[in-house]
Amino acid sequence: MRFTLASLAMLGLASQAASIDPLVVKGSKWFNKKTGQQFFIKGVDYQPDITSTSQVRDPLADSAGCSRDLPFLKDLGVNAIRVYQTEPFGNHDACMKALSDAGIYVMLDLSTPTETINRDSPEYDVNLLGYYQRKVDAFSKYDNLFAFLAGNEATNAYNNTATSAYVKAALRDVKAYIKSKNLAIPVGYATNDDADIRWQLQTYFDCGTTDEQADFYGVNLYEWCGEKATFESSGYSQVVKNFTNWDVPVVLTEYGCNAIKPRTFPEVAAIYGSQMTDVFSGGFVYEYVQEQNEYGLVNVDGSSGTKTADYDNFKKALAAVKPSGTTLSSYTPSGKQQSCPSVSASNNWMANQKLPLAPVNATCDCMFKSLACVSKITTPPTGASDLKTFGNNVGQVFNTACGKIDCGAISTNATTGVYGKYSFCNAIQRVSWAMNAYYIANKSNDNACDFNGFAKVTKPAQSSDASCSTMKDNTTAGNSTSSSSSSSSSSSSGSSSGSSSGSSDSSSSGKATSKSSAASFTALSAGAAIAALAAGLF
């Protein structure tokens, strides 16, 4: 079967339709707020036109692509899509309305390959929070936007668990921003299913105050492979057991093993059957578009698409299930919130329950205005070679300055839960603080403010930073990029299945950067992240 742009008129997709019903979370379940019926996600992971590239693609700003794909989505019978990569800058009206008219809800990942928290050198700063806030502003107006994901597999192994503290801090702050807008959009987290850390991860994102807790939890699960597998042999039964009596909704944010082809999706019957519906709220099959990893349901070619061998199998499996649940009025939540996992190497968990500070632009701008020795560069370069050089220079500055002075003010340690008062400022602000502290420690000798030509002496706009920590941002709009500089967090893309479409929150597994001096800190990660951006994304 092939659909083209002309198919839209035949299917009546251009007709006016009533607004989609709002969804609401109560306890561990989603409900249709209008009908009161429990809502189960029958979804597909959707990121078309993603080839081997580092560029962020925004399929919801591509009205022609949406017109091409919407007939397939309707034909499959899905009621939701998860979109990994979008930008807050484009016009999404046409796609979001067409999806809404078709009864399709949208879950969005907040991060992109270039705006994210890198698991190998985790940072969370004013610029990243501002980007997430702008995405909230761009999409919260749509009636079918039903959830955000603050992270995807940011921690994926026992040696990068500290990264979860930064992601959970971002989740906390996005929740606060949404609340400040008088909105009610759930913010969750999606993880791979790693046996060494699965319990620690799911309890970490569930523990703490309500403001810190993930509103829902997603699992990327690929263990059910082929018709011979069963609910028990696939490990699905254990996953369900782990989330029994959970206090927030749990959903499969990715599923669909392709070790045996074509896929026949026997797990669909379990996901939407009595074995799982009391615990899980459905899921998203991986994935819509065919790529080299061969998980796709549709081959996309320009303005048209054709079904893969998996397409009709998934359509048939989905059509055969009719999940039944409870109702909003009759349901009484009984799940229990979890305690935070203990921090120790023996427990394979190194993320403290004390989270990084909430980034405040005004604090960083105030601090920067008090400096007498600052970076000559106010905005990181964009060219690959220049960016790599810049990253190396930043790393060298941190090595030199923070090896001789106390850089605690710009440092973070997610294992001990100690975060400096300027640790959330962007890379140029932090490196300028380090150079200024080194300059002052050397009696303001001009030679101490050189750093191989990277720094310059300037006249501070204010005499002290004493009041900077009390500054607050105006939250009526998304945090703007700090006036003194601009810096992006970095990451490569990739889902748990190795696709280029999933926006993973870091490049590859590995031990997070750390360093010990007068204060244990990860300030060096600023340079490492910028260098990684140049090495991995261009």
* Helix 126-139, helix 163-180: angle, nearest 10: 40
171: closest CA among 139, 229, 217?
217
Q: Please provide the DSSP assignment of 263-321 as one string.
A: ---THHHHHTSTTTTTTEEEEEES-SB--TT---SEEEETTEEEE-HHHHHHHHHHHT-
| Residue 160 phi, psi dihedral angles, 5° rounding | -135, 30
Indicate if the alpha-carbon torsion angle 198, 149, 122, 519 is positive or negative. negative
Angstrom distance (rounded) from CA 79 to CA 146? 12
Q: Amino acid identity of 413?
A: N
Structure tokens at 362: 């005004």
Which position has the token pair 């990029």?
Answer: 481
The SS3 of residue 165 is: helix
Q: How far apart (Å, rounded) are the C-alpha atoms in residues 207 and 342?
A: 12
Collapsed DSSP state (helix, strand, coil) of residue 160 = helix
254 is an active site residue: yes
**What is the separation, in whole angstroms, between the first and last Cα of the chain?**
37
Sign of the CA dihedral with 267 first, then 74, 57, and 202 last: negative
CA dist 41 → 265, 281, 379 (Å): 16, 6, 42
**Bridge partner residues of 463 (DSSP):** none
Report d(CA 371, CA 367) in Å as an integer: 7
Q: How many residues does the chain have?
A: 538
Task: Report the alpha-carbon distance of residue 467 to residue 90 in Å, rounded.
Answer: 38
Alpha-carbon dihedral angle through residues 398, 402, 404, 405, given to the nearest 10 degrees: 140
User: Cα-flanking dihedrals φ and ψ of residue 91, to 5°?
Assistant: -100, 115
Strands 105-109 and 145-152: parallel
Catalytic residue among 115, 123, 212, 254: 254
Count Cβ atoms below 10 Å from residue 299 Cβ, excluding itself. 15
Return all residues near 266 (Cβ < 8 A) that are at least 6 apart: 224, 226, 227, 229, 317
Q: Which of 115, 153, 287, 291 is catalytic?
A: 153
Q: Is 227 a catalytic residue?
A: no
Residues acting as catalytic residues: 153, 254
